[in-house]
Amino acid sequence: MSSSLPTAETTSTLLDGFSLEMTGKDIDELTAARHVIPGGTRINVTFLGNEDLPMRVAAANAVRDAGLVPVPHVSARRLRSHEDLAEFLSALNTDRVFAVGGDPATPHGPFADALSVIESGLLEAHGVRSVSIAGYPEGHPDISDEALWRALADKHAALAERGLTGEIITQFGFDVDPVLDWIAAIRERGIDLPVRVGVPGPAGIRKLLRFAARFGVGTSASIARKYGLSLTNLMGTAGPDRFLRTLAGDYHPGVHGTVRLHFYTFGGLRTTSEWIADFRS
């Protein structure tokens, strides 16, 4: 892909409609960040092992009370039963969710993958109208590319059959090239869902490398250099400015279709929100 220089306009357009992510423990962060987050911004709320239902519902309600749009995660493998899912959805009272497989190596209940949550019918039965699904430009450490491609096609078809709108949220990464190559590949496979490119929010280099290692995200020396991650000065911080400029420069609507941004905040919802406000100004 020929790298072209991004204009301020293409970079700003790319940032339109960006979404953020928080965990159930980040409500104070949300309150602190509220003044720099545009009204109506979507905020994904994680579904992690160290959170419980009341925490997840409280976080989603805090997002709504702040005039923002919660997108609660539903981690298939962490659900203990159909009732567990039904109880969660009725407590959330949300019209959109992010349905994701979940990190447990073995499912805690009847759902082994996001497709089975979609096919349960429980989402639309509880008022959900839009379902985000996960995407892996760089593959997944424990799942074959073939399984990921098949699951993506099955989820895309299942959403269409059920009249549910959707989008794809990609795993964060530090290298734009595999992201745009992957988006071009899904378009060739007829998957036209909007793609929210996962972007690491600004954070300490040590923290970025720790989460990259935890989630199987590539941080080779060449990728680190491209991103501006110094692997020697681990005391420093790094933001996604180069990543976003490269993405804006190499993005072609005719090839890649609708692309937006999803910022993973790693506990830094306020830092990320302020960084985005500065980057846009």
Ligand X SMILES: Nc1nc(=O)c2c([nH]1)NC[C@@H]1CN(c3ccc(C(=O)N[C@@H](CCC(=O)O)C(=O)O)cc3)CN21
**Which of ligand NAI, ligand X, none binds 102 (CB below 5-8 Å, type-dependent)?**
ligand NAI
In the bound state with ligand NAI, the residue whose beta carbon lies nearer, of 6 and 113, is 113
- CB under 6 A: which stretch of 57-65, 69-77, 223-231, 240-248 binds ligand NAI? 69-77
Inter-residue contact 41 to 20 (CB < 8 Å): yes
Residue 232 sits at φ, ψ, to 5 deg, of -100, -45
Is 25 a binding residue for ligand X by CB under 6 A? The answer is yes
Residue of 213, 112, 212, 129 whose CA lies nearest to 167 = 129
CB of 140 to ligand X, least distance (A): 7
Q: For the chain, how many residues are written?
A: 281
> What are the distances in angstroms from CA 43 to CA 15, 105, 164, 257?
15, 27, 20, 23
Tell me the C-alpha distance between 138 and 173, whole Å.
8
**Which of ligand NAI, ligand X, none binds 89 (CB below 5-8 Å, type-dependent)?**
none
- CB under 6 A: which stretch of 52-60, 86-94, 136-144, 247-255 binds ligand NAI? 136-144
Near ligand NAI in 96-115, by CB under 6 A: 100-103, 105, 112-115
- CB under 6 A: which stretch of 1-9, 22-30, 31-39, 58-66 binds ligand X? 22-30
DSSP code for 76:
G
In the bound state with ligand X, the residue whose beta carbon lies nearer, of 12 and 116, is 116
Is 240 a binding residue for ligand NAI by CB under 6 A? The answer is no
Candidates 18, 88, 136, 172; binder of ligand X (CB under 6 A) is 172
Near ligand X in 84-113, by CB under 6 A: 103
Is 151 a binding residue for ligand NAI by CB under 6 A? The answer is yes
Residue 43 token pair: 């905020």
Helices 82-92 and 53-65 cross at an angle (nearest 10°) of 20
Tell me the C-alpha distance between 44 and 55, whole Å.
14
Tell me the C-alpha distance between 213 and 38, whole Å.
32
